[in-house]
Amino acid sequence: MNPGEDTSPDLWAAIWRLAEAWSQSPLVQEIAATLPRNQPFEKRGDKAVGIPALVQHLDLHAGMMMKPLMYASRIPALLSQPLLAGLGMPAVDQDELRDWLQKAAKLEGAHRVTLGWLRASLAGYPILRAPQLAPSTPLTTEEMTTRYIWSKDEFASGLNRRPAPPTVPDLLGADPKGAVELDEAARDVGRALAKSRAWVDFRGALHSLDDDAKEALRAARRELTERLSAEALDDHEPKLALPRAEYRSHTMTEVIESLTGPARVYADAFGEVDRLLDLTMGDIFGELVLFGEPWRVPVFNVETPKPGEPIVGFETQPIGAFLATGQILWLQNEAVPDAVRVELHSMKMDQVEGMHDHFEARVLLNTGEGWPAATIQIPSNDDPQ
Amino acid sequence: MYELTVSRMADRANAGDVRIAVAVLGVVFAELLDEGRRYANPLAWDCMVAEATAFLEERGGATDVAAVREAVARSGLVNAVITGIGHTTLRVPVHDSFADYFAARAHADGLVCLPVTLLENDENRLWLSSQMQMLSDSEALAVAEQLPFSLVRVSESDHNPISEQTPRMVAALLNAVLPDRTDVGVRMWRTANGKTMAQAGTAATGWVDPERAPSVFAGQTVVAEDGDGPTVIAVRLWRLILKHRLRRDRRLRPRNARSRQEACDQLSDHCRDVVAAATTILTEVAPPGAVDRLKETVGPLGMTGVVYERQGREVGPDGWPVRYRNTEAVDLTAAPDSSPPPEERNGDYSAWSDVEARVSTSPEATAAKAVGEAVTKLTRNHWL
Q: How confident is the model at residue A309 (pLDDT cuts 50, 70, 90)?
A: very high
The pLDDT, as a whole number, for residue A347 is 84
Report chain B's mean pLDDT, rounded to a whole number: 84
Fill in the amino acid letter for A5: E
pLDDT exceeds cutoff 80 at A154: yes
Question: Inter-chain contact B192–A334, Cβ cutoff 8 Å?
Answer: yes
Nearest-CA residue of chain B relative to A238? Answer: B256
Is some CB atom of chain B closer than 8 A to the CB atom of A315?
A: no
Give dist(CA A5, CA A197) in Å, integer.
10
The interface predicted TM-score of the complex, written ipTM, equals: 0.89
pLDDT exceeds cutoff 60 at B141: yes
Give dist(CA A93, CA B340) in Å, integer.
44
Q: How confident is the model at residue B7 (pLDDT cuts 50, 70, 90)?
A: low
Per the CB < 8 A criterion, the answer to whether B332 and B324 are in contact is yes
pLDDT exceeds cutoff 90 at A288: yes
Give residue B218's Cα distance to chain centre. 30
Is some CB atom of chain B closer than 8 A to the CB atom of A88?
A: no
The pLDDT, as a whole number, for residue A4 is 46
Is some CB atom of chain A closer than 8 A to the CB atom of B340?
A: no
Indicate the SS3 state at residue A354.
strand
CA distance B351 to chain A (A): 25
Question: Inter-chain contact A250–B382, Cβ cutoff 8 Å?
Answer: no
The region that residue A331 occupies, defined by phi over 0 for left and psi between -120 and 50 for alpha, beta otherwise, is beta
Nearest-CA residue of chain A relative to B384? Answer: A348
Is some CB atom of chain B closer than 8 A to the CB atom of A236?
A: yes
Greater pLDDT, B128 or B211: B211
pLDDT exceeds cutoff 60 at B144: yes
Is some CB atom of chain B closer than 8 A to the CB atom of A334?
A: yes
Nearest-CA residue of chain B relative to A242? Answer: B360
Per the CB < 8 A criterion, the answer to whether A312 and A335 are in contact is yes
Greater pLDDT, A202 or B315: A202
For the ranges A379-383, B51-55, B164-168, the lowest mean pLDDT is seen at: A379-383
pLDDT exceeds cutoff 60 at A233: yes
Non-local CB neighbours of A23 within 8 Å, separated by 6+ positions: A29, A32, A288, A289, A290, A292
What is the residue-wise DSSP string for B317-375? Answer: --B-EEEEEEESS-EEEE-SSSPPPPSS--SS--EEEEHHHHHTS-HHHHHHHHHHHHH
pLDDT digits (tens, 9 = 90+) for A243-283: 899 999 999 999 999 999 999 999 999 999 999 999 999 99
Which residue pairs, CB below 8 angstroms and at least 24 apart, start in A164-168?
A164/A117, A165/A110, A165/A113, A165/A114, A165/A116, A165/A117, A165/A118, A166/A113, A166/A117, A167/A109, A167/A110, A167/A113, A168/A110, A168/A113, A168/A114
Per the CB < 8 A criterion, the answer to whether A285 and A188 are in contact is no
Q: Bridge partners of B309? A: none
Per the CB < 8 A criterion, the answer to whether B15 and B71 are in contact is yes
Backbone angles phi, psi at A296, to 5 degrees: -105, 120
pLDDT exceeds cutoff 70 at A5: no
Chain pair A-B, CB pairs under 8 angstroms: 77
Q: Which of A82-91, A177-186, A340-349 has the highest mean pLDDT?
A: A177-186
What part of B 161-200 touches A (C-beta under 8 Å)? Answer: 191-193, 195, 197
The pLDDT, as a whole number, for residue A141 is 93
The pLDDT, as a whole number, for residue B156 is 87
Is some CB atom of chain B closer than 8 A to the CB atom of A382?
A: no
Give dist(CA A212, CA B207) in Å, integer.
53
Name chain A contacts of B381, Cβ cutoff 8 Å: 348, 350
pLDDT exceeds cutoff 50 at B84: no
Question: Inter-chain contact A303–B220, Cβ cutoff 8 Å?
Answer: yes
pLDDT exceeds cutoff 80 at B208: yes
Non-local CB neighbours of B153 within 8 Å, separated by 6+ positions: B127, B130, B379, B380
The pLDDT, as a whole number, for residue B75 is 65
Is some CB atom of chain B closer than 8 A to the CB atom of A82?
A: no
Greater pLDDT, B126 or A156: A156
For the ranges A106-115, A375-384, B349-358, the lowest mean pLDDT is seen at: A375-384
- Residues found in chain A: 385
Question: Inter-chain contact B191–A334, Cβ cutoff 8 Å?
Answer: yes
Question: Inter-chain contact B217–A363, Cβ cutoff 8 Å?
Answer: yes
The pLDDT, as a whole number, for residue A319 is 79
Is some CB atom of chain B closer than 8 A to the CB atom of A237?
A: yes
Is some CB atom of chain B closer than 8 A to the CB atom of A308?
A: yes
Q: CB-hemisphere CA count at 13 Å for A8?
A: 13
What is the residue-wise DSSP string for A324-353? Answer: -TT-EEEEESSS--S-EEEEEEEEEEETTT
Name chain B contacts of A233, Cβ cutoff 8 Å: none
Mean pLDDT of the region A275-295: 96
Is some CB atom of chain B closer than 8 A to the CB atom of A47?
A: no
Please give the helix or strand (H or E) that residue A183 lies within, else none: helix A176-194
Q: Which of B158, B129, B296, B127 is nearest to B235 (CA)?
A: B158
pLDDT exceeds cutoff 70 at B330: yes
Non-local CB neighbours of A295 within 8 Å, separated by 6+ positions: A329, A330, A374, A376, A377, A378
The pLDDT, as a whole number, for residue B6 is 64
Q: How confident is the model at residue A91 (pLDDT cuts 50, 70, 90)?
A: confident
CA distance B252 to chain A (A): 7
Q: Closest to A303 (Cβ–Cβ): which among B191, B240, B316?
A: B240
Give dist(CA A238, CA A230) in Å, integer.
9
Question: Inter-chain contact A304–B225, Cβ cutoff 8 Å?
Answer: no
pLDDT exceeds cutoff 70 at A300: yes
Q: How confident is the model at residue B63 (pLDDT cuts 50, 70, 90)?
A: low
Non-local CB neighbours of A176 within 8 Å, separated by 6+ positions: none
Give dist(CA B257, CA B307) in Å, integer.
12
Nearest-CA residue of chain A relative to B243? Answer: A305
Indicate the SS3 state at residue B157.
coil
Q: Bridge partners of B303? A: B326
Question: Inter-chain contact A350–B382, Cβ cutoff 8 Å?
Answer: yes
Indicate the SS3 state at residue A378.
coil
Q: How confident is the model at residue A384 (pLDDT cuts 50, 70, 90)?
A: very low
The pLDDT, as a whole number, for residue B5 is 67
pLDDT exceeds cutoff 80 at A380: no
pLDDT exceeds cutoff 70 at A63: yes
Q: How confident is the model at residue A356 (pLDDT cuts 50, 70, 90)?
A: confident
Interface test with A, best of B243, B246, B256 (most A CBs within 10 A): B256
pLDDT exceeds cutoff 50 at A146: yes
**Pairing state between β B321-327 and B302-307:** antiparallel
Mean pLDDT of the region A208-220: 97
The pLDDT, as a whole number, for residue B14 is 53
Is some CB atom of chain B closer than 8 A to the CB atom of A303?
A: yes
Indicate the SS3 state at residue B90.
strand
Q: Bridge partners of A371? A: none
pLDDT exceeds cutoff 80 at A113: yes
**Pairing state between β B185-190 and B78-82:** unpaired
Question: Inter-chain contact B251–A335, Cβ cutoff 8 Å?
Answer: no
pLDDT exceeds cutoff 80 at B95: no
Name chain B contacts of A235, Cβ cutoff 8 Å: 255
Q: How confident is the model at residue B11 (pLDDT cuts 50, 70, 90)?
A: low
Q: How confident is the model at residue B296 (pLDDT cuts 50, 70, 90)?
A: very high
Give dist(CA A331, CA A301) in Å, integer.
12
Q: Closest to A301 (Cβ–Cβ): which among B225, B316, B360?
A: B225
pLDDT exceeds cutoff 80 at A118: yes
The pLDDT, as a whole number, for residue A39 is 87
Q: Closest to A300 (Cβ–Cβ): which among B225, B240, B243?
A: B225
Question: Inter-chain contact A308–B220, Cβ cutoff 8 Å?
Answer: no
The pLDDT, as a whole number, for residue A358 is 92
Q: CA dist B369 to A262, A273, B148, B276, Å?
A: 39, 34, 20, 14
Fill in the amino acid letter for B223: V
Question: DSSP letter at A3?
Answer: T
Report chain A's mean pLDDT, rounded to a whole number: 91
pLDDT exceeds cutoff 70 at A82: no
Mean pLDDT of the region B110-121: 72
pLDDT exceeds cutoff 50 at A1: no
Is some CB atom of chain B closer than 8 A to the CB atom of A278?
A: no
Mean pLDDT of the region B58-81: 67
Nearest-CA residue of chain A relative to B219? Answer: A307
Crossing angle of the two packed helices B2-13 and B96-108, in degrees rounded to 10: 100
Name chain B contacts of A311, Cβ cutoff 8 Å: 217
For the ranges A251-260, A274-283, B212-221, B246-255, the lowest mean pLDDT is seen at: B246-255
Is some CB atom of chain B closer than 8 A to the CB atom of A152?
A: no
CA distance B294 to chain A (A): 23
pLDDT exceeds cutoff 60 at B278: yes
Q: Closest to A334 (Cβ–Cβ): which among B195, B317, B382?
A: B195
Q: Closest to B217 (Cβ–Cβ): which among A300, A308, A313?
A: A308
Is some CB atom of chain B closer than 8 A to the CB atom of A243?
A: yes
Global pTM value: 0.85
Indicate the SS3 state at residue A318.
coil
The pLDDT, as a whole number, for residue B355 is 93
Mean pLDDT of the region A319-342: 91
Q: CA dist A370 to A123, A239, A365, B48, Å?
A: 26, 45, 9, 72
Q: What percent of chain A has pLDDT over 90?
A: 70
Mean pLDDT of the region A215-226: 97
Question: DSSP letter at A38?
Answer: G
Nearest-CA residue of chain A relative to B193? Answer: A334
CA distance A281 to chain B (A): 24
Give dist(CA A343, CA A2) in Å, integer.
15
Is some CB atom of chain B closer than 8 A to the CB atom of A384?
A: no
With 0-12 CB in 10 A as exposed, 13-18 as middle and 19+ as buried, what is A150?
buried
CA distance A27 to chain B (A): 38
